[in-house]
Amino acid sequence: MEYKNHVRPGFEATGDRREAFVRLLDDDQFTTGLLYRNDKPGWRPDRAEPESLDDIAAHFSVEAR
């Protein structure tokens, strides 16, 4: 478990996507923390109730022509 000697805290959240990208490019992949944060809501499906398995399967069915 030698990697534990290299991991360190360091990232502080930024709201600038470009800055987050540059930080990530300059990182050695051993830094932890929140890199990017924004105020946009997460994606949510448009439906209120989950679909049934039959409805989901219908989206993936192949109809014969």
Query: Domains of the chain: which residue ranges?
Result: 1-39
Answer yes or no: is pLDDT of 60 > 80.
yes
Answer yes or no: is pLDDT of 46 > 80.
no
The upper half-sphere exposure of residue 58, i.e. CA atoms within 13 Å in the direction of its Cβ, equals 5
Q: Which of 16, 37, 35, 17 is nearest to 27 (CA)?
A: 35
For 1-63, give the DSSP string.
-GGGGT-EEEE--BS-HHHHHHHHHH--S-EEE--B---PPPP--S-SSPPPHHHHHHHH---
**pTM (2 d.p.):** 0.48
Answer yes or no: is pLDDT of 30 > 70.
yes
> Do 53 and 59 form a contact (C-beta atoms < 8 A)?
no
Answer yes or no: is pLDDT of 65 > 80.
no
Answer yes or no: is pLDDT of 3 > 80.
no
